[in-house]
Amino acid sequence: GTTLSEIAVDLSTGTQTPGDLFFIDAEPTPAPTKTPTGTPTGAPTPSPTGTPTVAPTPSPTGTPTVAPTGRPTTSPVASPKDDTVAPTKSPVKAPPVPFVCPADRLVTVDFDAIPNSLPLLPGTFVSGQFKAAFGFDVFAARIINGTLEEENWARIFDSSNPTGGDRDLGSPNKNCPGCVDTISCPGFSAQRDPGFLTSGENNCVPQNNILIIHEGNETSEPDDVSHGGYFEFTFMTPIQSLLSVGIMDIEMDSVGNQVQLFDASSELLETQPINGLGDNTWQEVTLDFAPDTAQITKIRVDVMTSGAITSLKYCEGGEIEPTADPTTSPTEATGSPTASPISTPIEPLTCAPENVVTVDFDSVADGSPVLPGTFISGQFKSSF
């Protein structure tokens, strides 16, 4: 039973550590041998060192910020489209319905022949030859040395055999597909002219006879005037619409070429410019003007260069519109029905005395006698 009160260990040398030492029968001291430090020496604390905040810093929202969809979309939606144009202040009109000419009123005129008549020979001067078959007269005035000559120089020109050195009026053009010689394809455009590139595309259908404004005199071969003029087609009965005009050899960038439509009072109804395509080119100028009733009595085509008309396509007038009011007063009622219907009486025409003309064949108005055996043609023209 030896009692140890103190053991001193020198650890300055050797390899022993306090863990290598053990005691037998050691008794605890009545009090700690060393005074504890004021703060923990470094061992982890049994609870967190940081003081928690009183409340969470972000306040929760009252409701979810984005409403959930009923079900997930299968794929993303497309990007939003641009805003539409702002609405107009007032509704716009519906587009007009295009005019369609009934087949029985559609008329196409070329200058090769007249129905129920002989062919038109090249070089023929044209005026009233189309009147009986189509109901219109032809007139063409020319510009010579800057002066408009108000005489009719409308003449037939054979585009398949151009004369007067006018190969720019030949048809088809020599550069058209399938052309192998200038006999069957006599059309020609100068290489420096804009028409050189296009005439081999748009002038490939033979035009045969075409209408020109003649430059020479009555005995010279057909030759179109170089400084233009105008064509006029005057109808005896109004037509409803001019659908198109075939045009050849209108120079590009020339101004003043146009188609105009007039009514019976010479009031201008419509103007359609002609944009020239160049030497030896062919084009069809179309018009959209179609009034509800037949009003067009004159077609005028102004050309400021050489040129020709190859065809006209128009729609004849339809049935005559009824008058707004009755033209004659109704007949008086009979006392009882007649056995068979009677026709409405016709009001007799009363001619003013100063308008009554009586013609016999003894003499003309100036007193010159008409001798027996005289052939009659224009003797009564100046008097009556």
- Write the DSSP assignment of 253-316 as a string of letters: T----EEEEE-TT--EEEEEE-----TT-EEEEE-----SS--EEEEEEEESSS-EEEEEEEEE
What pLDDT score does 265 carry? 96
CA distance 200 to 188: 9
What pLDDT score does 370 carry? 77
Query: Is there a contact between 281 and 250 (Cβ–Cβ < 8 Å)?
Result: yes
pLDDT tens-digit series, residues 151-205: 999 999 999 999 988 999 999 999 999 999 999 999 999 999 999 999 999 999 9
Sign, CA dihedral 5-11-15-19, equals: positive
Q: Which two tokens stand for residue 228?
A: 């233009």
What pLDDT score does 80 carry? 58
Query: Is there a contact between 204 and 225 (Cβ–Cβ < 8 Å)?
Result: no
Which residue do the tokens 């029905």 mark? Answer: 337
Query: Is there a contact between 216 and 150 (Cβ–Cβ < 8 Å)?
Result: no
What pLDDT score does 15 carry? 56
What pLDDT score does 234 carry? 98
Q: Is residue 126 part of a domain?
A: yes
Q: Which two tokens stand for residue 233?
A: 């087609």
Q: Find residue 313's DSSP bridge partners.
A: 108, 244
CA distance 143 to 63: 89
Buried b (16+ CB within 10 A) or exposed e, 192-217: ebbbbebbbebbbeebbbbbbbbbee
Amino acid at position 361, single letter:
F
Domain count, the chain: 1
Cα→Cα distances 169→110, 157, 175, 223, 354, Å: 16, 9, 14, 9, 54
Q: Which two tokens stand for residue 266?
A: 């010479």
Q: Which two tokens stand for residue 277?
A: 């395509």
Judged by DSSP in three states, 195 sits in helix
- Which is nearest to 228 in space by CA: 270, 199, 257? 257
What pLDDT score does 361 carry? 82
Query: Is there a contact between 162 and 142 (Cβ–Cβ < 8 Å)?
Result: no
Query: Is there a contact between 277 and 197 (Cβ–Cβ < 8 Å)?
Result: no
Provide the total of helices (H) and of strands (E) in the chain, helices listed first.
2, 11
What pLDDT score does 352 carry? 76
What pLDDT score does 145 carry? 93
Q: Is residue 307 part of a domain?
A: yes
Q: Is residue 4 part of a domain?
A: no
Q: Which two tokens stand for residue 253?
A: 């960038």
Q: Is residue 338 part of a domain?
A: no
Judged by DSSP in three states, 105 sits in helix
Q: Is residue 96 part of a domain?
A: no
Q: Which domain holds residue 135?
A: 107-316
Cα→Cα distances 37→34, 201, 278, Å: 9, 112, 114
CA distance 43 to 129: 130
Instruction: Say which residues have a Cβ less than 8 Å from residue 21's Cβ, sequence separation at least 6.
Output: 9
pTM over 0.95: no
Q: Report the chain's terminal Cα–Cα distance, integer Å.
A: 183
Where helices occur in the chain by DSSP H, the ranges are: 131-134, 195-202
Q: Is residue 138 part of a domain?
A: yes
Q: Which two tokens stand for residue 159?
A: 């585009």
Q: Is residue 58 part of a domain?
A: no
Which residue do the tokens 């009923």 mark? Answer: 70
If one counts every other C-beta atom within 10 angstroms of the C-beta of residue 247, the result is 24
Q: Is residue 14 part of a domain?
A: no
pLDDT string in tens for the chain (384-residue length): 555 556 565 555 555 555 555 554 556 667 766 666 666 666 666 666 666 666 666 666 666 666 666 676 666 656 656 666 677 677 666 776 788 999 999 999 999 999 887 789 999 999 999 999 999 999 999 999 999 999 999 999 999 999 988 999 999 999 999 999 999 999 999 999 999 999 999 999 999 999 999 999 999 999 999 999 999 999 999 999 999 999 999 999 999 999 999 999 999 999 999 999 999 999 999 998 988 889 999 999 999 999 999 999 999 997 644 555 555 665 565 556 666 666 666 667 778 777 777 878 887 766 678 788 776 766 766 676
CA distance 160 to 52: 109
